[in-house]
């Protein structure tokens, strides 16, 4: 069913409204999320809005794309075509994840239940993706037991990083301090430096899934950078919490 909202009679005007309703990105937002994923998500959001989809339904569309990709990692032998399919599904799921919030802003604001659903799906995605890599490498790879430690470590790092970011905003909000996402800013250079920490880059890494040794090199490098980022960020976050407290 298409919407009959007279304020947005066509897709182009819906896109224009979305550009005007964007929230400021966090200072630590990496480049892919800001310059690629948000723009793809804007297009998806405009289409979803024209189709009359609610933000929660958009979140479920995002989950469907993501978890089909995750399932393929664990169940389908690596090949060039499975790698491309997995990457496309994960990239699309990530873009739809950006779209749900944009649809909510078009409709006048989101809900607490919608925000909970969005974060719940994100947490499930982050935890399950690396475990699927672990299963896939165990079932189909011949890289030795040491290689299996990488997705285990990556799962820990990714989960703790996500929890830390959510907890930061929760504790700040409870004390009347502006959340990270409320501060527009960030420079192009900073965004590019943080690019290896972007979930979108991890999605693109699965283009190499069909060449397991090369994939593991890229995947391991991303893990190392993300582990270093978490170590540095945790010190910064703790200092911020001391000031807030």
The 10s digit of each residue's pLDDT in 32-63 is: 999 999 999 999 998 998 888 999 999 999 99
pLDDT of res. 174: 84
For the chain, residues with pLDDT lower than 70 are 1-28, 179-186
Burial class (CB in 10 A: 0-12, 13-18, 19+), 49: buried
pLDDT of res. 187: 72
Please say whether the beta carbons of 30 and 194 come within 8 A. yes
| Cα Rg of the chain, angstroms | 19
pLDDT of res. 23: 60
pLDDT of res. 139: 94
Task: Name residues whose C-beta falls within 8 Å of residue 121's C-beta, 6 or more positions apart in sequence.
Answer: 59, 62, 63, 66, 97
Pairs from 236-245 (Cβ < 8 Å, separation ≥ 24): 237/164, 237/168, 240/168, 241/168, 241/171, 244/171, 244/172, 244/175, 244/177
Please say whether the beta carbons of 142 and 211 come within 8 A. no
pLDDT per residue as tens digits for the range 105-140: 887 777 899 999 999 999 999 999 999 999 999 999
- How is residue 13 written in tokens? 């005007």
Please state, in angstroms and rounded to a whole number, the distance separating the CA atoms of residues 112 and 30.
Answer: 26
Q: All domains of the chain, ordered by start, with CATH?
A: 11-189+198-244 (1.20.120.1760)
- How is residue 237 written in tokens? 């976050």
pLDDT of res. 21: 56
Please state, in angstroms and rounded to a whole number, the distance separating the CA atoms of residues 112 and 125.
Answer: 20
Please state, in angstroms and rounded to a whole number, the distance separating the CA atoms of residues 99 and 47.
Answer: 10
Q: Please state, as a whole number, how many other Cβ atoms lie within 10 Å of the Cβ of residue 12.
A: 10
- Tell me the C-alpha to C-alpha distance, in Å, between residue 90 and each of 23, 200, 203: 23, 8, 6
């Amino acid at each position: 069913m298409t919407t009959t909202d007279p304020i947005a009679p066509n897709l182009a005007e819906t896109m224009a409204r979305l550009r005007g309703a964007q929230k400021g990105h966090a200072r630590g937002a990496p480049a892919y999320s800001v310059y690629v994923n948000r723009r793809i998500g804007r297009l998806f959001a405009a289409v979803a809005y024209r189709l009359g989809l609610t933000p929660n339904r958009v979140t479920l569309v995002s989950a469907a794309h993501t978890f089909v990709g995750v399932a393929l990692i664990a169940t389908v032998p690596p090949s060039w075509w499975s790698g491309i399919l997995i990457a496309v599904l994960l990239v699309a799921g990530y873009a739809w994840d950006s779209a749900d919030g944009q649809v909510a802003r078009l409709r006048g604001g989101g809900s607490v239940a919608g925000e909970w659903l969005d974060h719940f799906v994100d947490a499930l995605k982050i935890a399950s993706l690396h475990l699927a890599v672990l299963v896939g490498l165990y079932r189909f790879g011949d890289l030795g037991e040491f290689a299996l430690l990488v997705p285990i470590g990556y799962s820990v790092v990714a989960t703790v990083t996500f929890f830390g970011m959510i907890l930061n905003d929760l504790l700040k909000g409870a004390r009347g301090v502006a959340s990270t996402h409320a501060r527009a800013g960030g420079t192009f250079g900073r965004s590019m430096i943080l690019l290896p920490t972007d979930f979108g880059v991890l999605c693109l890494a699965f283009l190499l899934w069909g060449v397991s040794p090369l994939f593991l090199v890229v995947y391991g490098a991303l893990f190392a950078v993300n582990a270093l980022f978490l170590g540095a960020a945790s010190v910064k976050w703790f200092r911020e919490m001391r000031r807030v407290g």
